[in-house]
Amino acid sequence: MIITHLSQKKIPILLSMFYVSYLLVSTTIIYQLLDNVLALIEGNYTVMIMFELIILPWVVFYLQTSLLYYFKRYLVYFANHILAKYRFQAAILDVTLLSYIYLRFSDLPNRLLIASVILVVIAAYIYCITLYSQKQAIKLAQAEQLQNLIEYTAQIEELYDKLRHFKHDYKNILLSLEYCLDNDDLAGAKKVYHQAIAPTRSIISPELQLISQLQNISDPALKGILSNKLALALTKKLRVTCEIAQKIKLDPRVTQLDMVRLLSIFMDNAIEASCQVNKGCLDFAFFEHDNEQFIVIRNSTKYEKIELQLLDKVGYTTKNSQGHGYGLANVSAILRDYPFISLNTSSSHYIFQQELIITGGLSR
């Protein structure tokens, strides 16, 4: 039944093995801990049968589900970021867990001691591989932030170069236009306008207009990731708007890495969804109001309305390709550490919107 349930959810086979191993190992440990209780009622067969058939299974079930719920975030991270990347190590872990189960029920000498040592090794192994994975994730995020900043700097330099050339020419353009107007040369004025002034509209491209909005964000990492994602959306021919009308400083209660991860997930999903429709759009806004910060990301979708209750399920995706669907589940896992952040999601009329609200961080 467990295997069937897991397979219906399309959970990777290694993760399925890990969950099954967890159930078996936790069951044996709990039964071992309750051996003393069984010894007390060993003489009373009626009570013993009721205890083993009714009470004990419910106790085991409650403890197992409680542990899974309490460590849900860590299991999601373990599944998405460790088992998916370290398949060989995950296979070793599953084999080790099964070895523990075999030793626990075997008749070998010192079986409990050996099984206990294996259990300690398993715990240490999980801790080490998780720690290593987290360090690698931080290094990867730092490298990505650096690349985003390099691209952002290049875009700023391009803007400065274009404005510098325009500044050199605009005085001569105005003198030519002034001469035509002073001499009532309407045809000449039109010629100056169409040949010299109208082309300057392209000096401030949509991409550079978006960059100018990002000047109001003080955090360089957020500025870099947003610049990268907005530029990517423009290269995909999406209609993009960005509204950051006031100076914004990242709430110090939120780590830079988590905010970058959140924005990356939201922007990537918004860009992918918008690319699936004709003339897709992507709107981004970041503003403050009444001691709250608001981050709003709105995008086009090919569906008139998306079932919102399915979005935070691990593996759920509206895309045709496999390998997606973990992003929004990761968002839920990240937000559990920030009770002062709320996420409002809406979908209607082929528009999908995510709104992050950070409460109480402006009175600093």
Q: How many angstroms separate the CA atoms of 28 and 63, rounded?
A: 12
Residue 178 falls inside a structural domain:
no
The confidence score (pLDDT) of residue 282 equals 94
Are 246 and 346 part of one and the same domain? yes
Local structure of residue 302 (DSSP, 8 states): S
Of 53-67, 77-91, 184-198, give the lowest mean pLDDT range.
Answer: 77-91
CATH of the domain at 282: 3.30.565.10
Are 126 and 255 part of one and the same domain? no
Query: pLDDT class for 329, splitting at 50, 70, 90?
Result: confident
Buried b (16+ CB within 10 A) or exposed e, 64-96: eeeeeeeeeeebbbbbbbbbeebeebbeebbee
pLDDT digits (tens, 9 = 90+) for 201-226: 555 556 666 777 888 888 888 888 88
The confidence score (pLDDT) of residue 263 equals 92
Are 331 and 243 part of one and the same domain? yes
Residue 224 falls inside a structural domain:
yes
Residue 191 burial (CB count, 10 A) = 14
Give me the mean pLDDT over the 130-153 stretch: 72
Are 335 and 216 part of one and the same domain? yes
- Final residue in a domain of this structure, among 139, 165, 183: 139
Residue 35 falls inside a structural domain:
yes
Residue 329 falls inside a structural domain:
yes
**Helical (H) or strand (E) element with 114:** helix 111-182
Q: Look-up: residue for tokens 């009373």?
A: 44
Q: How many angstroms separate the CA atoms of 245 and 231, rounded?
A: 19
φ, ψ at 293 (rounded to 5°): -105, 135
Average pLDDT along the chain? 71
Q: Look-up: residue for tokens 């990240």?
A: 334
Domains contained in the chain, number: 2
Q: What is the pTM of this model?
A: 0.55
For the chain, how far is it from start to end, CA to CA, in angstroms?
A: 53
Are 97 and 234 part of one and the same domain? no
Residue 180 falls inside a structural domain:
no
Residue 165 falls inside a structural domain:
no
**Helical (H) or strand (E) element with 59:** helix 56-70
- Final residue in a domain of this structure, among 95, 114, 139: 139
Are 131 and 273 part of one and the same domain? no
Are 131 and 210 part of one and the same domain? no
Are 119 and 228 part of one and the same domain? no
Residue 316 falls inside a structural domain:
yes
Residue 31 falls inside a structural domain:
yes
Are 214 and 360 part of one and the same domain? yes
- Final residue in a domain of this structure, among 110, 139, 168: 139
Domain that includes residue 91, residue range: 2-139
40 has pLDDT over 50: yes
76 has pLDDT over 60: no
Among residues 23, 116, 139, which one has the least CA distance to residue 75?
A: 23
Are 133 and 242 part of one and the same domain? no
Q: How many angstroms separate the CA atoms of 175 and 167, rounded?
A: 13
Q: How many angstroms separate the CA atoms of 260 and 267, rounded?
A: 10
Are 126 and 32 part of one and the same domain? yes
